[in-house]
Amino acid sequence: MTKNTRTRYLKLVLLGAVLAAAQASAQVKIGFLGTLSGPGGALGQDQYDGFMLALAQKDNKLGGVPVQVVKADDRLSPDLAVQAARKLIEDDKVSIITGMTYGNVMMAAAKPITSAGVVLLSSNASPAPLAGGGCTPLMFSVSSGTMDQINESGGQLTQDLGYKRVYVMAPNYQAGRDAVEGFKHTYRQQPVDEVYTPLNQLDFSAEIAQLQAANPDAVYVFYPGGQAVNFIKQYRQAGLLGKLPLISVATVDGTTLPALRDTAVGAITASAYSPDLDNPQNRQFVAAFKEKYGRIPSMYAAASYDAAQLLDVAMRKVGGNVTDKNALRAALKTADFKSVRGNFKFDTNQFGLVDFYRVDVVKNAAGAELATRSKIKVDYRSRDAGQCSMK
């Protein structure tokens, strides 16, 4: 190799290194923090899969900027979530964190994230305290509503169905307590009883015997993930499903129906999402999700897919400059994207105004499917929003 050739070669190597460094610096890192293991792991996995499907459809770019997603499992532990969030921020240098599966975890992790100047975009957990007085400029939720909101729609549905003696059950943690409070806000009768079971309890035989003895005319439950599968199966085994009406929120959905199949037929749900919602973006999303993952999407996957669509629009508006938090916040607040759930826009607390539907579990050739029956609420506001000082 001649001296001139060697010089040109070294210049090309140097140029390549410069270009590689420029490309790396232009890449945006996004942290995904969710519950990916244990009985609630199916929820976080659906969130992650929905987000990654949207990213794959955009050639691993958002707003035209290359994106690297760094995944962390909080294992449903608030303490582990805080540790994972700090690692994502300090070691991985993420600019945005999304995910957030359970409310108790988000209650612990939200402040450490936003205090570090990192945008938090939840695609599921939406604890009532953070939607109200605990709201903050760098926190957004594109989820299917706070526990208050979605269970207020469930309470309204139960009221509209005319049930007078309702037995209520939920897990004993932040979201479970919020769920029951939301239900009681719109269900105008006093529940026969309200029972809180330990988080991650999987055997409900004693509680089911107890509710039978109370002789209600309907049962209302909030049980996500693995708890839902066990509760529904045991409710069916006790001979109750189809005999004693079961109304639920976040219990029978895309994460649990594949395991339950026709065992869940007859259950009635209140939800912000169903795979049969008839709009162009949802039809495309459901087809792509089923093709990629071999199952129907849940509301967790749908909201996380929407989170990616929102980030795509917002990052394009700021030219990929996620370091200008004020500009990024302003771009996110417009919620200028086509949601798979139909209508979606942010309230003043940067949590969503949401539409809610009655969705029934009906029998089909494959066992069972979710069928939208009616709309319960339109652009429904969290009552916690009035406690938020942001405008």
Whether residues 259 and 365 share a domain: the answer is yes
- Specify the pLDDT at position 109: 98
Whether residues 213 and 291 share a domain: the answer is no
Q: What is the pLDDT of residues 182-223, one digit of tens each?
A: 999 999 999 999 999 998 899 999 999 999 999 999 999 999
- Specify the pLDDT at position 132: 94
- Specify the pLDDT at position 207: 98
Q: Does the pLDDT at position 14 exceed 60?
A: no
Longest dimension (CA), the chain: 94
- Specify the pLDDT at position 6: 54
Is 246 inside a domain boundary?
A: yes
Q: Does the pLDDT at position 144 exceed 50?
A: yes
Provide mean pLDDT across the span 24-49: 90
Higher pLDDT, 200 or 267: 267
Q: Does the pLDDT at position 165 exceed 80?
A: yes
Task: Categorize the per-residue pLDDT at 369 as very low, low, confident or very high, splitting at 50, 70 and 90.
Answer: very high
Q: Does the pLDDT at position 284 exceed 60?
A: yes
Whether residues 177 and 228 share a domain: the answer is yes
Q: Does the pLDDT at position 360 exceed 50?
A: yes
Domain that holds residue 55: 22-146+278-354
Is 253 inside a domain boundary?
A: yes
* Tokens 């979710």, located at residue: 370
- Specify the pLDDT at position 17: 39
Is 10 inside a domain boundary?
A: no
Whether residues 334 and 367 share a domain: the answer is no
Q: pTM of the entire structure?
A: 0.87
Task: Categorize the per-residue pLDDT at 23 as very low, low, confident or very high, splitting at 50, 70 and 90.
Answer: very low
The lowest-confidence range among 232-236, 284-288, 361-365 is 361-365
- Specify the pLDDT at position 3: 55
Whether residues 378 and 299 share a domain: the answer is no
Whether residues 231 and 367 share a domain: the answer is yes
Whether residues 142 and 152 share a domain: the answer is no
Is 32 inside a domain boundary?
A: yes
- Specify the pLDDT at position 22: 39
Is 15 inside a domain boundary?
A: no
Provide mean pLDDT across the span 134-161: 94
Q: What is the pLDDT of residues 69-117, one digit of tens each?
A: 999 999 999 999 999 999 999 999 999 999 999 999 999 999 999 999 9
Average pLDDT of the chain to the nearest whole number: 92
Is 12 inside a domain boundary?
A: no
- Specify the pLDDT at position 147: 85
Is 11 inside a domain boundary?
A: no
Whether residues 65 and 203 share a domain: the answer is no
Q: How many domains does the chain have?
A: 2
Higher pLDDT, 335 or 279: 279
Provide mean pLDDT across the span 126-136: 94
Whether residues 91 and 126 share a domain: the answer is yes
CA atoms of 260 and 233, how far apart (whole Å): 7
Whether residues 235 and 361 share a domain: the answer is yes
Strand partners, 30: 69, 96
Whether residues 170 and 226 share a domain: the answer is yes
- Specify the pLDDT at position 18: 37
CATH number where 373 lies: 3.40.50.2300
Is 16 inside a domain boundary?
A: no
Whether residues 189 and 243 share a domain: the answer is yes
Q: Does the pLDDT at position 368 exceed 60?
A: yes
